[in-house]
Amino acid sequence: MMRVRRMWCVWGVAWHLVAMCPSSAVAQQGATVAAASDLNFALTEVSEQFARQTGQRVEIVFGSSGTLTRQVRDGAPFGMFLSADEAFVEQLANAGLTRDRGVLYAIGRIVLFAPTGSPLNPRDGLDGLARLLATGGVTRFAIANPEHAPYGRAAEAALRKRGIWNDLQPHIVLGENVSQAAQFATTGNAVGGIIAYSLALAPNLQNRGSYALVPDVDHPPLRQRMVLLKRAGPVVEQFYRYLQEAPARAILERYGFTLP
């Protein structure tokens, strides 16, 4: 697990440099959007639809909410932030880095995912994972890093509630964000992982395994909030409004998000 952490630490530095240096034209317009990685497919589809309907484009940088929050504090040229945990938006608002306190745009869910051929059956839920763990059948199990990824914290909470967090520790592989956790859950010899419902519904994962929703009572709610940052330009302001309209909300709902 420590080797994986170090590997993704290097990846995180490289990603930080990319996030700090988007294309100059977009950055000057304040049209760069920072978004939690659970939105990878849904928000990309929304932005493409936005471009078709308005002729305007935004550049999106995906990452863990905690990492993106640090980048905003460090002066990254973002005009808007979509967090997977509204607490990060509150932190930035309290620091005077946002236009206001934003709006709740979605509530996320987590799923237990297993790649094709895994001995783990997601339909058996975390009880099935516990039984597999007890028989020595768990090789690696992927979640997002709980230190800065809200979906990782939700996964940890669910595993703790089931009473298997401590025993599972030697087998856990941490992704820098929930998208990385999804990659880990579908590659190598991992039996699976806990990932975002929105990613499990994405086309490139649908044929790579199976999943089952983790009961939402097993973890704190994933209340996702977005906010305009101080440097937001007119295109991002338009995109912010667009995300609150029916066409964008329909896409978010199709990717499994509960809408406020």
Flag whether the pTM goes above 0.85. Answer: yes
All residues at 6 or more sequence positions from 41 whose CB lies less than 8 Å from its CB, including other chains: 198, 199, 201, 202, 203, 255
Q: Is the pLDDT of residue 30 over 60?
A: no
CA distance 142 to 144: 7
Percentage of the chain beyond pLDDT 70 is 88
At residue 151's C-alpha, the angle toward residues 205 and 141, to 5°, is 60
Laid out side by side, the sheet with 222-228 consists of: 59-63, 32-36, 80-82, 222-228, 103-108
Domain with CATH 3.40.190.10 in the chain: 15-107+222-254, 109-218
Read off the pLDDT of each residue in 104-115 and give the average, rounded to a whole number. Answer: 98
Q: What was the pLDDT predicted at 232?
A: 95
Q: What was the pLDDT predicted at 167?
A: 97
Q: Is the pLDDT of residue 136 over 60?
A: yes
Amino acid of residue 60: I
Read off the pLDDT of each residue in 164-175 and give the average, rounded to a whole number. Answer: 97
What is the CATH superfamily name and number for domain 109-218? Periplasmic binding protein-like II (3.40.190.10)
Tell the CATH topology of 15-107+222-254: D-Maltodextrin-Binding Protein; domain 2 (3.40.190)
Q: Is the pLDDT of residue 45 over 70?
A: yes
* DSSP state letters, 89-154: HHHHHHTT-BSSS-EEEEEE-EEEEEETT-S--GGGHHHHHHHHHHTT---EEEEE-TTT-HHHHH
Query: Helices 125-134 & 150-162, crossing angle to 10 degrees?
Result: 70
Read off the pLDDT of each residue in 49-54 and give the average, rounded to a whole number. Answer: 96
Q: What was the pLDDT predicted at 19?
A: 39
